[in-house]
Amino acid sequence: MKMNTESNVYTIVYSVVLVVIVAVLLAVVNQGLKSRQEANAQLDQQKQMLVALNQDYNNTDPAALYNSLVRDTLLVSEDGKAANIIRFEVEGQTKYILRLHGQGLWGGIGGYLALNADKNTIYGINFNHESETPGLGGEIVTPKFRNQFVGKHIKDQQGTIRSIAVLKEGKTADEGQEQVDAWAGATITSTGVNDMLLNNLQEYSDFLNKQCCKQVCKCTNCCKNDCTACQCGSAEDEQCCKQGGEQCCKKSDAQCCKQGGEQCCEKKCEETINKED
């Protein structure tokens, strides 16, 4: 029996079959490209972090360069899909990268903030955005804007997290807070960067405020690398904080790494200093 190709039934059946075929093909293609898409997204993130670390990857393999510098992932996002804090080693110096996320004028903004080992001095920064206006808010990605942050401090002299104020020319930050110039004509995006830094740094406050060694302690390298490889300055204490604080300082620093490094090099160092005084 020949089907009437001009009937409504034929038109509906034909449309349904066509939609199903196209949907299946799209699903197959998407699944086949998924691994490549994820690899490209990961490489893009690595490139952004290399920019924050002031690394030129144009004449090298960026993935290889990244892998040569990265040391540990210290904090992962709640959904497990992003690394929020990563430790790197650049020219023998520890650097921490903090992932940033916020809101601009037309969509999301984000970036990566690189801090020196003191968890205070900015080593570098990189921004990204979804749909900010080219020539205005979109300029947050340029070196001219980013380079203002290098060498700035996110804490005041008392060690309180203050972030970096992004302000219009002529305005002054609060006492104890350092500042950079907002991009002219991009007030809302600049405010978004300001709020993003402030909010994200507060979210990372536990990490940023963690000090393995008390200031009174003279152990020069105690709790280096967040107590994963700690040395207490004196030759007999080279295994301080080994295995994440489970093994503490020998002899001169008996209380080093007590409570997982939160109270480090406490009693013996204080005694030594008192004798010297």
Q: Are residues 78 and 173 in the same domain?
A: yes
Q: Are residues 249 and 171 in the same domain?
A: no
Q: Are residues 232 and 190 in the same domain?
A: no
pLDDT for 216 beyond 50: no
Displacement of CA 177 from its chain's centroid (Å): 21
> Which is more confident, 194 or 1?
194
Residue 260 contacts residue 245 (beta carbons within 8 Å): yes
Q: Are residues 205 and 232 in the same domain?
A: no
185, 189, 191, 192 alpha-carbon torsion, rounded to 10°? 180
Q: What is the pLDDT of residue 170?
A: 85
Q: Are residues 87 and 203 in the same domain?
A: yes
pLDDT for 139 beyond 90: yes
Q: Are residues 90 and 181 in the same domain?
A: yes
**Crossing angle for the helix pair 8-52 and 62-69, nearest 10 degrees?**
50
Q: What is the pLDDT of residue 194?
A: 97
pLDDT for 220 beyond 60: no
Q: Are residues 122 and 235 in the same domain?
A: no
Q: Are residues 119 and 179 in the same domain?
A: yes
Domain end call among 209, 238, 267: 209
56 domain residue, yes or no:
no
235 domain residue, yes or no:
yes
pLDDT for 43 beyond 50: yes
Q: What is the pLDDT of residue 90?
A: 95
> Is residue 81 very low, low, confident or very high in pLDDT (cuts 50, 70, 90)?
confident
pLDDT for 263 beyond 70: no
Q: What is the mean pLDDT of the chain?
A: 79
Q: Are residues 74 and 121 in the same domain?
A: yes
Q: Are residues 67 and 178 in the same domain?
A: yes
pLDDT for 229 beyond 80: no
> Is residue 150 very low, low, confident or very high in pLDDT (cuts 50, 70, 90)?
very high
76 domain residue, yes or no:
yes
Domain end call among 150, 182, 209: 209
Winning range, highest mean pLDDT, from 40-44, 77-81, 111-115, 238-242? 111-115
What percent of the chain clears pLDDT 90, i.e. is strictly above it?
Answer: 53
Q: Are residues 204 and 229 in the same domain?
A: no
pLDDT for 273 beyond 90: no
Domain that holds residue 252: 224-276
pLDDT for 163 beyond 50: yes
The count of structural domains within the chain is 2
> Which is more confident, 234 or 10?
10
pLDDT for 30 beyond 50: yes
Q: What is the pLDDT of residue 1?
A: 56
Q: φ and ψ at 179, to 5 degrees?
A: -145, 160
Domain end call among 157, 178, 209: 209
> Is residue 39 very low, low, confident or very high in pLDDT (cuts 50, 70, 90)?
confident
Q: What is the pLDDT of residue 116?
A: 96
Q: Are residues 176 and 245 in the same domain?
A: no
What percent of the chain clears pLDDT 70, i.e. is strictly above it?
Answer: 74
> Is residue 217 very low, low, confident or very high in pLDDT (cuts 50, 70, 90)?
very low
Q: What is the pLDDT of residue 179?
A: 96
